Amino acid sequence: MLTSSTKGRFFLLIGGLWLLSTIGVVCALFWPQIGRKYEVQKGEYCNENLERLFEAKQALARELNWDPSRPQPPVIQQLELKDLAPYLRRDRLDLSCPSGGHYQIRPLLDADGEVVPPICDHAKSDPDANGIDEDSEGLHIHLRSHLQNSDTGLYYRDPGLAFPGDPQTTPR
């Protein structure tokens, strides 16, 4: 015969198992949304990084005031993050993509003397496997260099801008 304390423990065990299985079901239901939300946050953080890099490139370009008809020196063609350091806020010197993407920041200017938007190589990935790349969803991109399709809501590169070194310019 079960004592009342054994019964109590038995019901506590059943209650605990029930609670655990409920938590498990809820997590399984919402995990994709939670995971996606986290991915979106990382992508938006990356957008901000690319904006900081773009602003730093603009500042350097203003200072150089380079005539685009003259041959471009290495600081323009082979621009590196360290060249932008004086134009970045101190707390933003360690710019890295939170999703592990790599930034392509060179060159500084295109053939017309316009500042070239920086690129994150994670933009071409599709972590939620919905057939739409991150960049089309407006993530891991320099937003101001992109346009949004008013019908689909998807982002694409501004066709009026050059993205030297990365030929992927197909609009969606």
Contacting positions for Zn ion (CB under 5 A): 46, 97, 101, 120, 122, 140
Question: Among residues 41 and 77, whose Cβ is nearest to Zn ion?
Answer: 41
Question: Among residues 72 and 103, whose Cβ is nearest to Zn ion?
Answer: 103
Q: Where are the beta strands (DSSP E) in 3-157?
A: 103-104, 119-120, 146-148, 155-157
Question: Among residues 57 and 122, whose Cβ is nearest to Zn ion?
Answer: 122
Which residues, 6+ apart, have CB-to-CB distance to 106 below 8 Å?
A: 77, 78, 79, 80, 116, 165
**Closest CB 81 distance from Zn ion, rounded Å:** 14
**Closest CB 14 distance from Zn ion, rounded Å:** 47
Token couple for 77? 């063609």
**Closest CB 100 distance from Zn ion, rounded Å:** 8
**Closest CB 73 distance from Zn ion, rounded Å:** 28
Question: Among residues 98 and 113, whose Cβ is nearest to Zn ion?
Answer: 98
Computed over its alpha carbons, how large is the radius of gyration of the chain?
25
Instruction: Determine the 3-state secondary structure of 127 from DSSP.
Output: coil
